[in-house]
Structure 1
Amino acid sequence: MYRYLIASTLALGAVTATPAFAAQPVAAASASASQLKAQDVVQHYSTLVYANYSDTITAAKQMQKAIHAFLVKPSQATQDAARQAWLDAREFYGQTEAFRFYDGPIDNEDGPEGQINAWPMDESYVDYVVGDDNAGLINNRKIPITKKRLADLNEHDGEENISTGWHAIEFMLWGQDLSDTGPGARPFTDFIDGKKPNADRRRAYLKVVTELLIDDLQSVADQWKPGMKKNFRAEFSKGGEESLRKIFVGLGSLSRGELAGERLEVAMASRDQEDEHSCFSDNTHRDAVTNAQGIQNVWLGSYKRLDGSELKGPGLRDWVAAHDAVAAQKTSLQIAKSVASAQAIPAPFDQAIQGARDSAARAKIQATIDSLTQQSKDLVDAAKAVGIEQLNLVEP
């Protein structure tokens, strides 16, 4: 989510590869530019994007089924199953964030990104919080709970007034995170009539906000659907080097401005739980991994699908390797390092950001920030190697 990000052209930078990642191959290093066309990379990227969004929708619908079972019969078991389904679906959505930042269907002027994944969230905008049992639209029976109304209320009169998307669902399933050692612990009885005021509205809200999330995800996926004459993919797939430039912008901006900056640096500086991405479920460490993985997916042209199959084709790495094998290898090593660094971030993230500046936990988060920052510079170098001289990337 944008809070104070600005567009900027990143300076070029070098990277020193560490031996631990030296085994990462550049498969297309021997290819020539005449054997691989920019169009091949762009078209495979479109295929990968559609596959990732399709898997996200499938996983979100599985989450919807689990939430429905929970709402029909609230219990600890059904609540736990709904929570796990949310976590499972986030694994796929997190990888799609590499498809942002270039005025595509997810975050152009009319894009639903703000309804899908806006954060940080003021919990009291939606439901009760400690110290205020009557807070939120759920406890205001004058406000209708419909998809249109919730969409209208999202970020109304304030960017933290979030009423829709992944994190609104997350808050409803977990509640406020008041623990130093684990996630939120909203009791399932919040959804049982007679156990908590406005339980009926709480059930309605969770049902409707989940439906809206799936609608929004589907609207984005439809713009990447193959075989259409007038959707975004139809034009993007014919865009050649301009579309390649957009792909680079997406990866570089997620690397530096959003993931390293907005999602990690801000929380490191504030040490505030409210600045972590998935604060109610304590899933922030996995958000970082899936974002980093999404970048690697696009770079390599490889994506592991929900059914376990692997989608493979020409990625940015192959196009860069056809022009400059050294730049391709250097960027591949740094991206692999970023994924490994993100995987090493301790959980829970809200505790990892506490303590002394030189603590072991903070050092691991800082290592991820440093790797992603260098990665964005390497992506600029890689783009330059294929004739793209400037990338307007999002920087903090």
Structure 2
Amino acid sequence: MRAVILPFTLFALALAACQDREATPKVPDAPAVPTANNQKIEPAVDQQSLAVWHRGGAALARSQAELNALRDSVQALLQNPTQATLNQAREQWHSAHNSGQAFSLFFAMGAAHPGLFVQLETLHDQLDGWPIQPGFLDYFDVYTHSGLVNDIAIPVTAKALKEAHQQFDPADRALGLHPIAYLLWGDKGQRPATDFVKQALKATGEDEPNVEDLANNRRRALLGLMVELAIDSLDKLAARWQETGVYSKVYTGLSAQQRSEILRTSSIYLIEEQLINKQLQPQLDAISQTHLDVSNHNQYSGGSKRLLSAQLNGLALLIEQNQSSALVAHWSQGASKSWLEQLAAANRVLDKLPEEGAATETQWVAAIAALQQLTLPLKAEVETL
């Protein structure tokens, strides 16, 4: 029989609904978190729960560096649109995107406890939200004049993109790395570098469009602006993570037991909801239910295997460099070493998935089973004795 674990009080939810998306959230009071089985928190657990937070800050710094490198690669592409500069921008996109996945544990925290970390889920959406609607962005399939690139009624400004983002449909995304990916790869990964060549007017006259409204020029402007807005969102997140930032004040203001419980539930949420339920299970279901329209995380950029491994490795923030984890040992009643072995085994299973193309039913089942096995020790703490 399992003990009942009360949810965290969503005391800030009503406040968050009234706040402007860009406003800095207020620091909420610490929620009441029950102590499972009345277990005593060891000093090592307290120290490691704080160390995990600092590792998150280091992961954010690396992600900022990769995203700034993407800006440099995109500028090189716009200055000299060739297949080589396009390939470099695409490769740097993967580096920036996968670097951000090291923060997956904390993005899961924002989704699992939205009332505690106000707007963290919104910032995640602005950075890595998916799926996207390609026809909302640019030409797609037979629709050669669709999307923001061709809609001159929408100016290429930060204000206009923020207003257009998910205005009528959740998949109509104008912000984040995945709209950037579609501009770089295009339909079926066949975007030519010539799509980024600056265009000039062929004639002059009252009936001619403005030069900045030509499709290539709008595509160039949109790509550069989307990268800048992604950097801005990540910088906001990093500022809230610093010692004086609002998220840091919330987290460090919690008790050791509260921090431990938040990390435990967030780890389970990452594995079960964000990896299995959102990404792996739909791919498995689509094999037997061919009518399902399933999108994957990297629908237009590819590299899904690297992505899944990068997300799973977000759990590495729980582990000390000496390969021990007081947190996991506390949650699993001492099974820290076996959990580390299970994490390594799950990574090996994910590594067997194809980098491109569809995996087999056996491969999806094996990946799901490996991840499900990984959650079991994390749930041991809530078992009644």
Q: Partner residue of 2:376?
A: 377
- Percent identity among equivalent residues? 21
Give the residue type in structure 2 aligned to 1:222.
A
Q: Partner residue of 2:229?
A: 212
Query: Which whole-Å deviations, capped at 9, do the CAs of 1:151-171 have from their partners, x for residues lacking one?
Result: 222222111111111111111
Alignment equivalent of 2:146, drawn from 115, 135, 142: 135
Q: Partner residue of 1:234?
A: 249
Give the residue type in structure 1 aligned to 2:140.
V
Query: Which whole-Å deviations, capped at 9, do the CAs of 1:341-388 have from their partners, x for residues lacking one?
Result: 11221121xx224xxxxxxx332222111111222232111x438x9x
1:300 aligns with 2:306: no
Q: Partner residue of 2:12?
A: none
- Relative to structure 2, which stretch is displaced further, 264-273 or 317-326? 317-326
Report the Cα distance in structure 2 between the residues aligned to 1:194 and 1:78, rounded to whole angstroms: 18
Distance change (3 Å), C-alpha of 1:34 and 1:154: closer
1:73 aligns with 2:93: no
Report the Cα distance in structure 1 between the residues aligned to 2:41 and 2:140, rounded to whole angstroms: 61
Q: Partner residue of 1:192?
A: 197
Report the Cα distance in structure 2 between the residues aligned to 1:37 and 1:185, rounded to whole angstroms: 52
Q: Partner residue of 1:260?
A: 276
Give the residue type in structure 2 aligned to 1:154.
H
How many Å apart are 1:105 and its aligned residue? Answer: 12
Partners of 2:166 and 2:173 within 8 A in 1: yes
How many Å apart are 1:205 and its aligned residue? Answer: 0.3
Report the Cα distance in structure 1 between the residues aligned to 2:332 and 2:296, rounded to whole angstroms: 38
Give the residue type in structure 1 aligned to 2:231.
I
Give the residue type in structure 2 aligned to 1:343.
D
What is the 5 A alignment of 1:1-396? Answer: 36-103=43-110, 108-110=117-119, 111-177=122-188, 184-194=189-199, 197-226=214-243, 228=244, 230-239=245-254, 240-270=256-286, 275-295=295-315, 297-301=316-320, 312=321, 317-321=325-329, 326-348=334-356, 351-353=357-359, 361-381=360-380, 383-384=381-382
- Relative to structure 2, which stretch is displaced further, 217-226 or 123-132? 217-226
Aligned residue for 2:103, secondary structure, equals: helix
Partners of 1:106 and 1:113 within 8 A in 2: no
Distance change (3 Å), C-alpha of 1:324 and 1:255: closer
Partners of 1:175 and 1:280 within 8 A in 2: yes
Specify which structure has the higher proportion of helix. Answer: 2
Aligned residue for 1:282, secondary structure, equals: coil
Report the Cα distance in structure 1 between the residues aligned to 2:231 and 2:293, rounded to whole angstroms: 27
Structure 2 residues without counterparts, runs of 5 or longer: 6-39, 201-212
Report the Cα distance in structure 1 between the residues aligned to 2:294 and 2:79, rounded to whole angstroms: 31
- Relative to structure 2, which stretch is displaced further, 324-333 or 91-100? 324-333
Higher gyration radius (CA): 2
Report the Cα distance in structure 1 between the residues aligned to 2:48 and 2:232, rounded to whole angstroms: 29
Report the Cα distance in structure 2 between the residues aligned to 1:321 and 1:53, rounded to whole angstroms: 26
Query: Which whole-Å deviations, capped at 9, do the CAs of 1:71-104 have from their partners, x for residues lacking one?
Result: 1111111111111111111221112111123337
How many Å apart are 1:326 and its aligned residue? Answer: 4.1
Partners of 1:273 and 1:279 within 8 A in 2: no
Partners of 2:345 and 2:370 within 8 A in 1: yes
Aligned residue for 1:101, secondary structure, equals: helix
Please give the root-mean-square deviation of Cα atoms over the aligned residues, in Å. 2.8
Number of corresponding residues: 328
How many Å apart are 1:313 and its aligned residue? Answer: 7.7
Report the Cα distance in structure 2 between the residues aligned to 1:106 and 1:214, rounded to whole angstroms: 24
Report the Cα distance in structure 2 between the residues aligned to 1:255 and 1:158, rounded to whole angstroms: 27
Give the residue type in structure 1 aligned to 2:217.
D
Structure 1 residues without counterparts, runs of 5 or longer: 1-7, 10-32, 178-183, 302-311, 354-360, 390-396
Distance change (3 Å), C-alpha of 1:105 and 1:268: closer
Distance change (3 Å), C-alpha of 1:105 and 1:149: farther
Distance change (3 Å), C-alpha of 1:176 and 1:154: same
Aligned residue for 1:134, secondary structure, equals: coil
Give the residue type in structure 2 aligned to 1:284.
S
How many Å apart are 1:322 and its aligned residue? Answer: 5.9
Query: Which whole-Å deviations, capped at 9, do the CAs of 1:118-164 have from their partners, x for residues lacking one?
Result: 11111000111111111101101110112222122222211111111
Q: TM-score, normalised by structure 1?
A: 0.76
Give the residue type in structure 2 aligned to 1:158.
D
Partners of 2:264 and 2:331 within 8 A in 1: no
Partners of 1:63 and 1:85 within 8 A in 2: yes
Give the residue type in structure 2 aligned to 1:378.
P
